[in-house]
Amino acid sequence: MASLPTFADVQAAARRLEGVTLRTPLLENARVNAMLGGRLFLKAECLQRTGSFKLRGAYNFLALMSEADRGKGVVGWSSGNHAQGLAEAARLLDVKATIVMPADAPALKVANTRASGAEVVFYDRIKDSREAIGQDIARKTGATIVPPYDHPWILTGQGTAGLEIVEQAKAAGVTLDAVAAPCSGGGLATGIALAVKGLSPATSVHAGEPAGFDDLARSLSLGTKQTNAKLSGSICDALLAPTPGDITFALAKTLLGPGLVVTDDEVLDAMETAFREFKIVVEPGGAVALAAALTGKLPVKGRTVAVVCSGGNVDHATYIRALARRAA
């Protein structure tokens, strides 16, 4: 394995993204704090361009490509948020993008990906290999594969959100005891951990995952990469990677604390709380870290904690289901 990315790489990514990505707010709510007995901050990456954090990594990757390679186009695979982030990064840098998406991806994410000018190729999650399809496209066209998480350029781009979290907390006069982020393949969580540990070494960083798809939590517990038994079956469609990445797991072993695992019902409750108390729309996969804090799996009592709400691209039916969890 090539040398692992560093804190300095995250700082360099932040310079590339300046003026491209938004510095999303760090939100706090007095009622929620009183209920939890501590201070909880939400990093609202659901308000980022394309509705999730994914533009950070995708733009950083494309910005680091040679002009010749950009001219041949890029190809990626994603259930939606990486698709949208990569498509928008490609549009901003005038690069042709082809995205391989599961046939059951939320219609909103497909429409948004196409709206940024990308070509969408569908696959069956159960029968097909998205990697094989993407690699075949790259072979035939000369396009560069832009992976969703397991690449230094991707995860250091995602890590810029962690720089902002620590800086914004400092501006609020607080030092964070813990930070948690949603996790699929681990790019966001490990990128944020690189940034947070670089600025605030005593702050613990954790990855949140849906029950049944907690491969990173189990991998950290056992010390070796684990694979999920199923490929689908959670409302957290953005968090269904089968196993941690090689680079992300190598970083996770040294940077992350124990994993946080939440149920779909806990995620729906967190989405409703985000709407009611923080006035933001969060998709299921984007709400797992918040769910961990609200349920005490990530302790907030007597502490100061920040969680990343990583995306807000949720279909109407799922969102209505979340809001219906609490009587009007």
User: Which residues are catalytic, by number?
Assistant: 54, 310
Q: Partners of 206 in the beta sheet? A: 180
Q: What is the DSSP letter of 258?
A: S
- Please, are residues 56 and 13 in contact by the beta-carbon 8 Å criterion? yes
By CB neighbour count within 10 A (0-12 exposed, 13-18 middle, 19+ buried), where does 201 fall?
A: exposed
Instruction: Tell me which residue has tokens 């990456």.
Output: 45
Which is nearest to 22 in space by CA: 71, 56, 59, 63?
56
What three-state secondary structure class fits 166? Answer: helix
Amino acid at 320: I
The whole-angstrom separation of Cα 327 and Cα 324 is 7
Strand partners, 209: 261
Transcribe 102-136 into DSSP letters.
Answer: ETTS-HHHHHHHHHTT-EEEEE-TTT--HHHHHHH
CA distances from 48 to 54, 116, 289 (A): 9, 15, 17
